[in-house]
Amino acid sequence: MSPLANPLPDAEAQCRQLADLIRPHLHRNPALIGIYSGGAWIAERLKELLSLPEDIGLIDVSFYRDDFAEKGLHPQVKPTVIPFDVEGRHLILVDDVLYTGRTTRAALNELFDYGRPASVSMAVLADRGGRELPIGAAYCVWDVDLSDGQNLVLVRNADGQLAWRLENV
């Protein structure tokens, strides 16, 4: 893990790096599925950078979270949209930050409601460690070390550009 850089890395440059990591695996004809909201933005960017003809899938894990009973429904639930058949497909699940692995687990649970893919790999811009489940990213461009009171948040600026913001909680 590398210490947190100041200023924070360029998220758009990281998207290009992530595309470069995925490009050698395009022969498998993978489909991208972004986890709302940061992962959805990154998946959209990867579709452009990799010139993929197929629409991306978008997944909202709100109903599949293991803390749903405690926290309730997120006020901005979005519909899950998977515009392709997942059965037998190679899928790349895309998110902004990988932390405990619980969001990824929720996404996998929902994804399997749509069918049984041939494989599912994970692509993230940042991995902050702290795993509570045996989940890892096949494609990652930044291992970052944050304190317990910090959150790394991906935002989309008014011009559509992606950027990192550090929040203290």
The partner residues of 122 in beta bridges, in order of sequence, read 93
The secondary structure of 3-32, three-state, reads: ECCCCCCCHHHHHHHHHHHHHHHHHHCCEE
* Per-residue pLDDT reduced to its tens digit, 90-112: 999 999 999 999 999 999 999 99
Does the structure show a pLDDT above 70 at 2? no
Q: How far is CA 18 from each of CA 37, 116, 120, 124, 137, rounded to the nearest angstrom?
A: 17, 25, 16, 8, 11
Say what the pLDDT of residue 68 is. Answer: 46
What domains, with CATH codes, occur in the chain? 2-168 (3.40.50.2020)
Residues 6+ apart with CB under 8 A from 73: 62, 63
- Give percent of the chain with pLDDT exceeding 90: 79
Q: Give the separation between CA 58 and CA 51, rounded to whole angstroms.
A: 18
* Per-residue pLDDT reduced to its tens digit, 65-82: 555 445 555 556 788 999
Q: Give the separation between CA 168 and CA 165, rounded to whole angstroms.
A: 10
Q: Give the separation between CA 71 and CA 69, rounded to whole angstroms.
A: 6
pTM surpassing 0.85?
A: yes
